[in-house]
Structure 1
Amino acid sequence: MNTIARRAYNLCRSPSLLPVQGVKSVSGEHQIQQCRGIRVRVHNGNLEQALKFMQRKMQSSGIERQIKNLQTRHVKNSEKRVLARKKLQRRIQSQELAHRIKVILADKASNKLLCDASSLLWFTFSGWLPVEVSC
């Protein structure tokens, strides 16, 4: 939890989020960029509850996702290839599942799926399984 809090603090302290000095806008005034941050009150010294509340706020606001996406170390080319291959496999699997669901819904809409069939094939992550259906 300390590393997440530290990275959130560093994210807010990054130069791109601090007020811009010397840069003038069209109206001639200085531009000030807002710093995103989370403030949490600690009631009655209950630090655990405050940390849980802070974590929920970070997840809902998307700061935690930004922190995880920050590159904090060098990623080797071989590791990049592995990550890219896994990402591609997830995308292809998702597209195949969406296509199968689309076909099933299209068949159901055109009454090709009969309710009096003794068993239908339903897709699961382990493959096609026969499932008893009663209409």
Structure 2
Amino acid sequence: MNTITRRVTGLVTRASYYLLQQERGIRVKVLNGNMEQALSIMQRKMQSSGMERLIKQRQTHHIKNSEKKVLARKNLERRIRSEDFSRKLQSILIKKVRGL
């Protein structure tokens, strides 16, 4: 229990100001002194808000090849979506300028 709280507070102290601002927004009520349940709820909230991903990105540790492949695929999909959107936007703007 104590190691979990130390790990969480260690992550908070190492996080940048931006992350600290986001972390202040997450609040968890401890009911009947049940700290384990509160920590699991906090972890779920952190995962759903994307904060856990941001904290993991800041960590400098070995990334498994399977994780690298997943990240590379997501980055490729994001780039393709962005390029596709910019191409569509450009064609719309060209039509608008030409008065079509």
Structure 2 length normalisation: TM-score? Answer: 0.48
Bigger helix share: 2
Structure 1 length normalisation: TM-score? Answer: 0.37
